[in-house]
Amino acid sequence: MAEYSIEKRTTMLMLVVIAFVSLIDGLDGGIINVALPTLAKDFSTDTSTISWVTAIYFIMMAGLMIPFARIAKNGHIKKVLFVGLAIFTASSLLCGLSMNFPMLLICRTIQGLGAAMMGAAIPMLCVKFLPACNLGLGLGVLTMGSALGFALGPALGGIITEMISWHWIFLINVPLGIAILPLIIKTLPKDTKSSEKLKDISGALLLFSTVLFGAISLERASHGNDSILAIISATLFVICLTLFILVELKKDDPMLNVRVFTHHKFNLVFLAFLLVGLAYMGLAYLMPFYMSNTLGFSSSESGMYLLIAPLVTLTLSVPISRWSDRTGRRWFSVASCFVLLLAFILMAMFSKEKMLLPLIVSLFFMGLMWALCGGPMGSRIIEEVSDESREMGSTLMNESIYLGGTIGTALFAMLFTIGSGAGNINFSDLPSDIFMDGFVFSMTAGAVITFIALIASFVVKDKIKS
Rounded Cα gap, residues 222 and 220, in angstroms: 5
- Per-residue model confidence (pLDDT) at position 87: 94
Angle between helices 390-420 and 201-220 (to 10 degrees): 20
Q: What is the DSSP string of 104-164?
A: HHHHHHHHHHHHHHHHHHHHHHHHHHS-GGGHHHHHHHHHHHHHHHHHHHHHHHHHHHHHT
Whether pLDDT at 6 is above 60: no
> What residue spans define the domains of the chain?
10-188+202-459
**pLDDT, tens digit (0-9, with 9 covering 90-100), for 374-415:** 777 777 777 777 554 555 666 677 677 777 777 887 788 788
Percent of all residues in the chain with a pLDDT value above 70, rounded to a whole number? 82
Rounded Cα gap, residues 238 and 252, in angstroms: 24
Beta-sheet strands, E only, within 352-405: none
Residue 124: pLDDT band with limits 50, 70, 90? confident
Average pLDDT over residues 210-230: 73
Average pLDDT over residues 160-171: 83
Residue 423: pLDDT band with limits 50, 70, 90? low
Nearest-5° angle of CA 314, CA 319, CA 128? 90
Whether pLDDT at 457 is above 90: no
Rounded Cα gap, residues 37 and 33, in angstroms: 8
Residue 194: pLDDT band with limits 50, 70, 90? low
CATH for 10-188+202-459 is 1.20.1250.20
Nearest-5° angle of CA 383, CA 385, CA 387? 85
- Per-residue model confidence (pLDDT) at position 137: 62
Average pLDDT over residues 191-211: 73
Rounded Cα gap, residues 71 and 198, in angstroms: 6
Residue 135: pLDDT band with limits 50, 70, 90? low
Q: What is the DSSP string of 254-278?
A: -SS-GGGGG-HHHHHHHHHHHHHHH
**pLDDT, tens digit (0-9, with 9 covering 90-100), for 357-385:** 889 999 999 888 888 877 777 777 777 77
Whether pLDDT at 3 is above 90: no
Least confident of 222-226, 242-246, 294-298, 457-461: 222-226
Closest CA to 60 of 127, 20, 106: 106
Rounded Cα gap, residues 425 and 350, in angstroms: 25
Whether pLDDT at 123 is above 80: no
Is the Cβ–Cβ distance between 118 and 84 less than 8 Å?
A: yes
**pLDDT, tens digit (0-9, with 9 covering 90-100), for 17-52:** 777 888 887 777 667 777 777 888 888 777 667 778
Total residue count of the chain as it appears in this document? 466
Beta carbons within 8 Å of 268's beta carbon, 6+ residues apart: 456, 457, 459, 460
Beta carbons within 8 Å of 452's beta carbon, 6+ residues apart: 275
Task: Report the chain's mean pLDDT, rounded to a whole number.
Answer: 79
